[in-house]
Amino acid sequence: MASKAKIAVLGASGYTGAELVRLLLRHPRADLVALTADRKAGQQMRAVFPQFSPFALPPLVSIESIDWAAAGIDVAFCALPHGTTQTVIRDLLAKAPQIKVIDLSADFRLHDLAAYERWYGHPHQAPELQKEAAYGLVEIHRREIRKARLVANPGCYTTGAQLPLTPLLKAKAIETEGIVIDAKSGMTGAGRAAKEAMLFSEVSEGFHAYGVGHHRHMAELDQEFSLAAGKDVVVTFTPHLVPMNRGILSTIYVKGGRERTAQDLHAILAEFYAKADFVHVLAFGETPQTRHVRGSNMTFIGVAKDRVPGRAIIVSALDNLVKGASGQAIQNMNLVLGYPETTGLDQVALFP
């Protein structure tokens, strides 16, 4: 039997933490040896997430209580809030430089120190690590990730936008002006913090946009899209909240460049992802539903012709907690450890 990596999950009491535990419990080459939580340190995981009652899991402890130098941990997943993560990882890597870190926060996603400061309002606390970090969108940056010690796992919204758009921008197949991304997310994207606006009665039986015109995820899109296009790209992006738990659907409006038709765009994506394990391009004209990827690491992409000449409508669907967070994080771990990329990620979507 192949050896198993020793895994720590930092922030195991949140939704992406729990999703890491769900997936890692069935990963054939991972051993969960440490789980941390802040306010819930001292509790058992089953008290915080009763679905784990039948399983033996390490208790929730504080990050400080772990002796990182001695614990022999191979990989640390970091599912902590934005902003605090950077110092946690800096300190952790200072104590145990050999650990591979997969960070699910936004803290290491931007390569440009100035851009970080502009979007987040304060200078980065670990600038040297920021430079080192690989941006973990596997289908685009596989090569860099394999060599990385620190991987910045992409955001859920931005994964849904990049997987269809980046190949098209690289191929210079669409106009870079006027791109509109209308994204709709399930509620788990908002995390588990107790906020009035996230109560069941506030968000069920209704629909709304938020952060209209100025959402932080745009920083990540600007970086990656400009890199792909070889010039500055600034897209319009509006997130919405859907009364469902999981899923992001992104409806993307583009204009074909250089006389490319919608069908051309479809062909480019179909070829780009022909051998991808976790991106599936539907037949031309078909568009996906979030429920059909629920619980799986899959992204479905559809391309349809708009009736307005020259324009196309692209729709992507993924599970924000899996391909949009914890599943992609494990995909990154697999690369970093030299495992086959799909190891432990073969869940079939749960529908209905």
Which parts of 11-40 interact with a second copy (CB under 8 A)?
15, 18, 22, 25-26
Q: Does 243 bind a second copy (CB under 8 A)?
A: yes
**147 to each of 136, 154, 254, 327, how far by Cα in Å?**
11, 17, 34, 19
Compute the least distance from the CB of residue 284 to a second copy, in Å.
11
Site for a second copy in 266-285 (CB under 8 A): 280, 282, 285
- Give the chain's radius of gyration (CA, Å): 20
How does strand 150-152 pair with strand 134-135? parallel
Among 42, 51, 117, 118, binds a second copy (CB under 8 A): 51
Q: Which stretch binds a second copy (CB under 8 A): 123-131, 160-168, 313-321, 323-331?
A: 313-321
Contact residue for a second copy among 246, 260, 266, 323 (CB under 8 A):
246
Question: What binding mask, one character per residue, do residues 129-168 give for a second copy by CB under 8 A, x or -?
Answer: ----------------------------------------
Helix (H, G, I), strand (E, B) or coil at 278: coil
64-93 binders of a second copy (CB under 8 A): none
Q: 12 CB contacts (<8 Å, ≥6 apart)?
A: 18, 20, 21, 35, 36, 37, 45, 48, 60, 79
Window 162-221: residues binding a second copy (CB under 8 A): 178, 180, 182, 184, 186-188, 190, 192-196, 198-210, 212-214, 218
Is 48 strand, coil or helix?
A: helix
Cα gap 181→213, rounded to integer Å: 11
Report which of 154, 136, 174 is spatially closest to residue 333, judged by C-alpha positions.
136
Q: Which of residues 6 and 192 has its CB atom nearest to a second copy in the complex? A: 192
CA pair distance 172, 167, nearest whole angstrom: 9
Which one of residues 306, 337, 341, 343 is an interface residue with a second copy (CB under 8 A)?
306
CB of 193 to a second copy, least distance (A): 8
Residue among 125 and 287 whose Cβ is closer to a second copy = 287
Q: How would DSSP label each residue in 293-317?
A: TTTSS-EEEEEEE-SSTTEEEEEEE
Q: How far is the CB of 148 from a second copy (least distance, A)?
A: 27
Nearest to 215 by CA among 290, 158, 153, 160: 158
Is position 42 an interface residue for a second copy (rule: CB under 8 A)?
A: no
Does position 349 interact with a second copy (CB under 8 A)? The reply is yes
Residues 6+ apart with CB under 8 A from 266: 281, 284, 303
Residue 156 annotated among the catalytic residues of the structure: yes
Residue 261, interface with a second copy (CB under 8 A)? no
Task: Name the nearest CA neighbour of 333 among 31, 87, 106.
Answer: 31
Catalytic residue, candidates 126, 140, 156, 282: 156
Q: Is 337 among the residues that bind a second copy (CB under 8 A)? A: no
Is 242 a binding residue for a second copy by CB under 8 A? The answer is yes
| Residues classed as catalytic | 156
